[in-house]
Amino acid sequence: MLSNLTCQSAKPKTKPYKISDGEGLYLEVTPHGTKFWRLKYRLHGKERRISIGAYPSTSVAEARKAKEVIKKDIRDGIDPVSKRLQTAQMQSFISQLDFKSMAMEWHSKQISLWKPTHSTIVKHRLEKYVFPSLGSFPLADIKPLMMLSCLQKIEKTAPDLSRRMKALCGHIFKYAIATGRADNDPTYGLEAAMRKFKRGHYASISVDEFPEFLVCLNNYESKVHRQTFLALKLLLLTFVRTCELVEAEWKEIDFDRAMWVIPAERMKMKLPHVVPLSRQALAMFRELKNMHSNNKLIFPGYYDTRTHMSKNTMLVAIKRMGYSGKMTGHGFRSLALGILKEKLGYSHDIADRQLAHVPKSGIDRAYDRALFLPQRIKMMQNYADYIDKV
């Protein structure tokens, strides 16, 4: 076996020559004095050779360690030359794969799991907030400090969004790791360096402010498109989420049973939701049916009736009523919960179930979403009657 001293003292000759270390490993000395480690091996009955590295950059110990790895591959039937070529090709591919390409590949894998609107939002956020800074960089070149710099630009004006984008980029890197095209996730632990903030709630008026708001809403009736006004009133009467209202289709409404069944795929928690309809709500749905009898959508867009109206339409209307920063579409849910508990005396469990909140208990989650349905039918009518009295 070769020693380090033997390798150092090997002098060049007129022709290349070999110094054996045993088991096929040898040091080849060229006429120019350069020295290369090579391994001779047999695979599938054929004698082959593979280069391990140059001496002294690759020491005697390192050459022997590489020999053992290669021999293990040979015992497993793996050609070390082919393996090295495939590894080099993969490394070349990875070095050319930029973050934008990986992000869009990941995005394409999620589309079937998301609502179209969510898919569009995710793509828009990546294009607006991340791709300009990191999109063209190879994955291996994106370091934690670069990722943090990108996120800190976002958190200057939108701290909550910066954390959402951190999580989003983390998912992309985890996908890259799982598919063998990245070694680490540069978003890991960055929350420690990001600004702390207290997450707020959707703006909503109080129960005591409701009468004044209702006066403003009724006075606004003549100043807004009829469909928008009915949408606001139905949001008040049903207190569903804004997207659940504007994306509704006529097939979900059962006029005979006075029920609106929102399918699981349109619900936030992916569970079907039953909304008992009061007489007042039914009357509004019938009016909308007369307006859009030939459309499957209850609230078609004003300019393109093939798609639903924008949920921002109602937010704009609320702002024009003078409630900018004081009330939102989501705020109707908080308002309804307050009225049901404070003014009408309903228990939190019944009111909360009508808000389609998932119970914390795993046992409760196993029950049908129509739990408390008789009480909720009565509650929704009492709630509509209370609004009329106000």
Question: What are the residue numbers of the active site?
Answer: 241, 268, 330, 333, 357, 367
Q: For the chain, how long is the longest CA-to-CA vector?
A: 109
CA distance 342 to 240: 20
Residues 6+ apart with CB under 8 A from 209: none
Half-sphere exposure of 358 (CA within 13 A, CB side): 13
| Beta strand segments in 3-99, E | 17-22, 25-29, 35-43, 46-55
Question: Which residues, listed in sequence order, are joined to residue 254 by a DSSP beta bridge?
Answer: 259
Q: For residues 25 and 67, is the Cβ–Cβ distance under 8 A?
A: yes
Where are the alpha helices (H) located in the chain, listed in sequence order? 4-9, 60-75, 80-96, 99-110, 116-125, 131-134, 144-155, 159-178, 210-219, 226-238, 242-246, 279-291, 312-318, 331-338, 348-354, 362-365, 373-389
CA distance 93 to 226: 57
Phi, psi for residue 314 in degrees, rounded to 5: -70, -35
40: helix, strand or coil: strand
Q: For residues 262 and 370, is the Cβ–Cβ distance under 8 A?
A: no
Amino acid at 301: G
Distance of CA 129 to the CA centre of its chain: 15
The side-by-side arrangement of strands in the sheet containing 259-262 is 253-254, 259-262, 273-276
Q: For residues 73 and 83, is the Cβ–Cβ distance under 8 A?
A: yes
Token representation of residue 238: 């049903």
